[in-house]
Structure formats: structure tokens, C-alpha cells
Amino acid sequence: MMAVRGSRLPAMSQSVPSLEALNALPRVQQPSYPDPQATGEVIEQLRALPPLVFAGECDDLRAHLAAVANREAFLLQGGDCAETFAGVNAANIKGKLRVLLSMAVVMTYAGQLPVVKVGRIAGQYAKPRSKDTETRRGLTLPSYRGDAVNGFEFTPEARVHDPKRLVGVYNASAATLNLVRAFATGGFADLRGIHAWNADFVRNSNVEARYEALASEIERALVFMMACGVEDDQLSTVDFYASHEALLLDYEHAMTRIDSRSQLPYDCSGHLLWIGERTRQLDGAHVEFLRHVRNPLGIKLGPTTTEEDAVAIADSLDPDHEPGRLTFITRMGSKAVRTNLPKVIEAVETTGRKVVWSCDPMHGNTFETDNGYKTRSFADVCDEVNGFFDVHEELGTWPGGVHIELTGDDVTECLGGIDMLAEADLANRYETACDPRLNRNQSLELAFMIAERLADGRLKRNAVSPLARFRGIDL
């Protein structure tokens, strides 16, 4: 990744609306801080800190996403539903990176195309909630909105909205990014050690035989390349990008910087930022803020999205039809994806834009079990992914990616999968701070299913393979 220095955003910059102007617009899902003066002091402190990511890195990711939109690559975006400050440790970060790299290897080899790797990481510390409060045993307190806002413990003290936690978000994100960059470039992700860096991961996995067979096949191909004298540094490192929902406007605005090369604004809290289903109002502060920054942007689209909704938000955020600028992350649910998604895709494609279409099969398939756990069925997750691919096959468009809530741990939060988790198993390791995540076995099982769809000849990719390009053959 390229490091480009960013400068502090001038207070009266005309490139981005002031925080005061944004606060005058409809603002939803924002904290209710009790002390405005303390909040202002935290915001000024954040403005003076170095950027977490750099403008050049955001530009690089936008170029990779343009390749996805052009059917030349696939996007894998995944990570925790909600990161926690306590989860900022080497083992946890390594586990998430490992499962994403494993999934990417499976998809790359089967699909014979690059996989753009983006984590829900180093910033996903805030979550929108459907209710402002929750009640337990007659006590009503503010809902937990992520470690960026308040504490998980159900006490009056923990649930107070505290602006000082925003500095904690910055510090946790900086530590996470530092470790991710070390893993990505320091040899951990070297493809030539594919067996070694996945040894612990696959040893206890019921999908290990399938994965090990694939790893051995890749290893033989690498040995052949090395025997031919091919020594490519790209085998030893990976490009890995950070993303999160740009939910807390105080934080995102404070982390915006002017790029010294272009004099354009970038939100330097993450490479890719997305707008959630609850915050994509056209007249709202989130859309108004993000349409001014140069980061690649994601937009969550739920089952009630109309053709007019999708086109209107595309017009607002991408008036210049810039490839790689927009990623539409659809979260229709397994029951609605085949009926509701086609019209949305057709409407956006008619505008002539090249956007990335990505499937979030998690958020539309959440339900509560009889024993009180919020969960998802792995079968529903797979069905929505298959429906997403089915729709694109019918329309002749490109199913460009998936957006998964997952962990590298052996949690028991989603039902089904190769381990056949049942409702009674949920209590064993239900560890999420918010929504249920796929565990590492389920994540890898899903990767193999997606790989089969990418390799399916029915999917009209219309892209020229590197080997065909070398031969001068247009396939």
C-alpha cells in the first residue's frame, strides 16, 4: 500500500460541509452525549491526530474495485459484526486475517481471478440499533451501541454515551492497522507457506481434507513456477484494506483530511466506508457528508429498496459515473433476493454506471430462537448467496462480491454448516457483542460454495484471462 501524507482539514474548508451544517440536517443513529463541551474537546483532539489510512491507499482500492466492476476481480469483505476494544490483540486479529486469506485463496484458485480483500476491521466499533433502550428485569437503560459509544455491561454507568470513547476507537484502530500491515507484508501471508500459515486453522476443521487438497495443488503449481525461475514478491505479501460503517458523524468528520497531492478530502478513518440501511436518507447528514469525500463508498440496500431509491443515491454519491466509486451491498434476505434484487440491478445498470454488486447474506436472515438467541441459519446464508448469483446469471451482470460477518474462532452463533450446529449448541460459545457471525468452518465452507459459482461456466464473465491476453487470444 502506498503512503501519501494527508493534512488537517481546514475549519472553513468548502470541500466538506462543516460539522455544524451536517448537524442541521436529519441525523439518525447518533449518540446522545451529555456534555457538549467535552464532546467538542474530543473532536478537536481527533482532528490533530495523524490519519489512520492514506489517500493513495484509498485510490488504490478504488482502482481494484473498478476492476471488480469490470468483471476482472471479485470482492471479499468480512470481519466482526462489532469490534470491541478487548478484541484488539494479536491472536484475534491474526485469526480474522487468516480466515479471510483462506477464503480468498479458495475463490482465487477456483475462479481464476484476483480477489480484493477488505476487512470489516479497524473501525467497526459502532452499531445502529432498532431501539434506543433495552429493559431487563424491570430496569431500562440505553441500548449498547458499540464500544465507540458505550459499554456492553448492563449498568447505568456503562451505558452512558461517552465521547472519550472516540479516542479509544482511534487508538484501537491504529493498533489493529499496525498489526494487519505487519501480517500482510511480513511473511505471514506468503502463499508459498500456505500449509504452514493455515496449519492450526485446518487441523480441527471438518473441511480440512478439501482445503488441504487445494493447498497441495497450489503448492505444486508454485514449485513449478519457482523451478522455472519465477520469484515474484507478490507471492509474499497481500493488499489488505480496512472498512467500516461511517456511522458516527463526529468521528468521521474529525478524521477527514485534505490530500496534499490533490487537495481533495478523504475520510482517513478507513479505506472503504459504507452507509447503512438505516442511514441512507437522501436528505440526511450521512449521505451529505460522504458524497464529498473521495473514498470508495458502500451502500447497504435492504428488501424495501426501490429502483428509484437506488438510482437516486447513486446520482447523489456518484454524479460522475466513476468506476470503483460505489459498491452496492444488497441485504435482501433469502426469501426476497430473487424477486426484489433484479429490478434494482436493472435500474442502476441502465444509468451506465459500473458499480460493484456485493451480497450481504447475513443481515436479512437474522431471527431469534426459542431459547432466546439471535442467530442466523447457514442454509439461509447460502441460499441468499446462491440467489444473488442466480439473479446476476439471468441478467448477464457480474456478481462482484460478498460481505460476510465472520470470525476466526470456533464460535457457535449461526445454526447449521458442516458441523450441524443446533439451537442447543448456541450456548457453548456465543461470544458476539452484537450480531451472530459465521465461525471459521462455516466461513471456509461458504468460500468453497462461492468458488464453485465463480467457476461455473454459466456465469458470463466476458473477461480476458491473463494467459489469453499473453497469447493475443480474445476469449
The DSSP-derived string for 178-237 is HHHHHHHHSSTT-GGGTTGGGHHHHHT-TTHHHHHHHHHHHHHHHHHHHHTT---GGGT-
| Sequence ranges of the binding site for phosphoenolpyruvate | 120, 277-278, 300, 331
**Cell triple for residue 103?**
477464503
pLDDT for the residue 419: 86
**Cell triple for residue 403?**
460481505
pLDDT for the residue 464: 57
Q: Indicate left, alpha or beta for 414 from its phi (over 0: left) and psi (-120 to 50: alpha).
A: beta
Decide: pTM greater than 0.85: yes
Q: How far apart are CA 461 and CA 68, in angstroms?
A: 11
| Sequence ranges of the binding site | 81, 120, 277-278, 300, 331, 363, 405, 435
Q: How far apart are CA 378 and CA 447, in angstroms?
A: 13
Q: Which residues contact 20 (CB under 8 A, 6 or more apart)?
A: none
**Cell triple for residue 91?**
491472536
Q: Which residues contact 437 (CB under 8 A, 6 or more apart)?
A: 80, 81, 405, 406, 407, 411, 413, 414
pLDDT for the residue 284: 97
Q: What is the H or E stretch that residue 240 is in?
A: strand 240-245
pLDDT for the residue 199: 56
Give counts: helices (H), strands (E), the chain.
14, 15
pLDDT for the residue 223: 73
Q: How far apart are CA 403 and CA 385, in angstroms?
A: 10
Rg (CA), the chain: 22
pLDDT for the residue 193: 62
pLDDT for the residue 3: 36
Report, at the CATH architecture level, how domain 65-189+237-461 is classified: Alpha-Beta Barrel (3.20)
Strands of 276-419 (E only): list them.
297-301, 326-330, 356-359, 366-368, 374-376, 401-405
In a 3-state reduction of DSSP, which class is residue 243? strand
Using the Cα atoms of residue 90, residue 95, residue 96 and residue 98 in order, give the sign of their dihedral: positive
Amino acid 261 reads R
pLDDT for the residue 473: 52
Amino acid 220 reads R
Contact assessment for residue 355 and residue 314, using Cβ atoms and an 8 Å cutoff: yes
| Sequence ranges of the binding site for Mn(2+) | 81, 363, 405, 435
Helix axis angle, 90-111 relative to 208-227, nearest 10°?
A: 70
pLDDT for the residue 155: 97
- Nearest-5° angle of CA 461, CA 462, CA 463? 90
Segments in 16-54 forming alpha helices (H): 19-23, 36-47
Amino acid 409 reads D
Q: What is the pLDDT of residues 126-151, one digit of tens each?
A: 999 989 999 999 999 999 999 999 99
Residue with cell 497450489: 218
Query: Which residue stretches of the chain have pLDDT < 70?
Result: 1-14, 191-208, 231-236, 457-475
Q: What is the H or E stretch that residue 245 is in?
A: strand 240-245
Contact assessment for residue 392 and residue 376, using Cβ atoms and an 8 Å cutoff: no
Domain parsing of the chain, residue ranges: 65-189+237-461
